Structure 1
């Protein structure tokens, strides 16, 4: 799998960097104020200089009905797992209502808001991560898995508990240990998405995707523009693009191409239309345009697929 291979390459680089540097003893990295809130922090100097991705903060929120974060910006990314109770997270005007077993990946550089449900306060396991490769890793995971997943087993929450426990116990090895655990959690999120556990928790998000899909299906013969899709759901191009990608993990125009190639594949297998006719019926500029796009997405040419089916 391409996404997993890319992350493993970065992880290999991470291990090489770990063994190339000398561990320096630093303070515990925990302030009494943070400890009182179940939050443990990683010292910035060593981690930022030597680790391409590291946990900046990690913690557990224990059934606090008043827990609420409402920020315009924070320099990092967060993974949050709801172990018990209910939780909500809001970004790009999308409200996710979460319950036990849900895990959220969020870019904190963008305006965000999240907190516990006062009527059913949650137990939340979480960690912030940052570093030189953090943005790339975030993009890989988000594109593959989206912002919200549901997990049934205990593997992922156990790793999150281990991150918090490692910081609580201290020791210089915690820098490496928690960074490796963070990589493992992010890779696991991609693996979970491949099993079909991905979910859209906001009914508005589901309706938006359905509306866009219907529009694409009824305009297959035209070169669909981004502004047309945004207009179909009454959003600006900017907000529509961000909203759609947050819902699906892919861009609107990439989704259009996927739907058209899906239709082209059906026509190649089950109709007698020529490749040129199929290209025209799907709004491609010419046969070559369809050929290039089809090969890029499926790994084979239209002619090769048709030949294999006969």
Structure 2
């Protein structure tokens, strides 16, 4: 039995909390549309003063905590306490000893989920005792909250198979969103702001019909070329120029599909002065020449 020490036992005003019965989980957990990932517990604790948990042997499920107000701390496997502040999300791996608490002066407001399933480890791979809270963008924040309420409202109305299947698919969406957010590291923009690599991607998108150098991209991000290249590749898996060229080819595909422009016209429009180089690059990325791509039936 997992130890679960609790300082606050009488709940929090306006809290939401659902723990699925064990027999329901056992009945549905092997269903092919559920077994990959499913929610076992879900909750919302507003202004949770004195909220505290200690699980010396961890939880059998992965625990997702998202703080939207106030602050608190999390400690994994007896390591140093990590601060959780507004806008940060944390995943505590299954079976990881942990402890967490809300601030006594600025108590947190948190949404939380317990998740299990065959693909849970894959969704949250790379998370260990050194995991840290991740800041979530405003857009992703709204989606997390929306997914919580949709899951909660469905479960509140009963545990039918169709509802559990739907909630399981929402859980996959949520886990994918968290995974994506955790793999988008922030780097310094200046002393007051954070520059997300998304700004650089947007800059590329706005200059696909021109030619942008690596130095220009790094300058736009206010980073040295080596630092910018390292952060960009860590985030996307590609070097900046490689990614930029792939965006150009992606736009070229749209022109081939939706316009009658010649291959030469498209290549020049996208900043390629040599149509032969454009065609070679297109085939390298897409696996077929521009003309072969254009003649392929789609839709």
- Structure with higher helix content: 1
User: Normalised by the size of structure 1, how large is the TM-score?
Assistant: 0.48
Greater Cα radius of gyration, structure 1 or 2: 2
